[in-house]
Amino acid sequence: MNIPEDLLYTKEHEWIRIEGADICRMGITDHAQAALGDITFVDLPADGSDCGQFKQFAIVESVKAASDVFAPLSGTIVGSNTELTSNPELVNQSPYDKGWFCLIKFSDEKEKEKLFSPADYRKYLEETAH
């Protein structure tokens, strides 16, 4: 399972990459895309909308499942991956790169403490896999 070392993770299998003082990029993990199977549609929040940490803010659909996606940090959406509208399979092919979801301008630095380090996320996956 691919778990890049430079990212932070959530229990709900989202990742973030810090890209500035108060900007992060987010998406869903390799584990999440594999569990969902072929992704057919991603419903992303509008630019300028607000999100709350661990609150639902997007939906990802495969043929047989639809999953809520939760915001890893509170803040405002300042960009989203419009490529996913026509090519949702990018989430399967490149979950950490071309298959990113949104850019969040986050409002509370401290919330990062509630996220998993790569090692913790790996451990979490191992514990929950059975």
Which three-class secondary structure state does DSSP give residue 24? strand
47 makes contact with another protein (CB under 8 A): no
Q: Which region holds residue 75: left if phi is over 0, alpha if psi is between -120 and 50, else beta?
A: left
Do the strands 39-43 and 56-62 form a parallel or antiparallel pair, or are they unpaired? antiparallel
75 makes contact with another protein (CB under 8 A): no
State the Cα–Cα distance between residues 105 and 95, nearest whole angstrom: 21
34 makes contact with another protein (CB under 8 A): no
Applying CB under 8 A, which part among 12-20, 21-29, 60-68, 106-114 lies near another protein? 60-68
Of 61, 74, 79, 94, the one binding another protein (CB under 8 A) is 61
Of 1, 34, 66, 119, the one binding another protein (CB under 8 A) is 66
Q: Where are the alpha helices (DSSP H) in the chain?
A: 30-36, 83-86, 90-93, 118-128
129 makes contact with another protein (CB under 8 A): no
Contact in structure between 75 and 48 (CB atoms under 8 Å): no
65 makes contact with another protein (CB under 8 A): yes
Which neighbouring-strand residues pair with 80? 102
12 makes contact with another protein (CB under 8 A): no
Of 88, 91, 95, 106, the one binding another protein (CB under 8 A) is 88
41 makes contact with another protein (CB under 8 A): yes
Residues that bind another protein (CB under 8 A): 38, 40-41, 43, 61-66, 68, 88-89
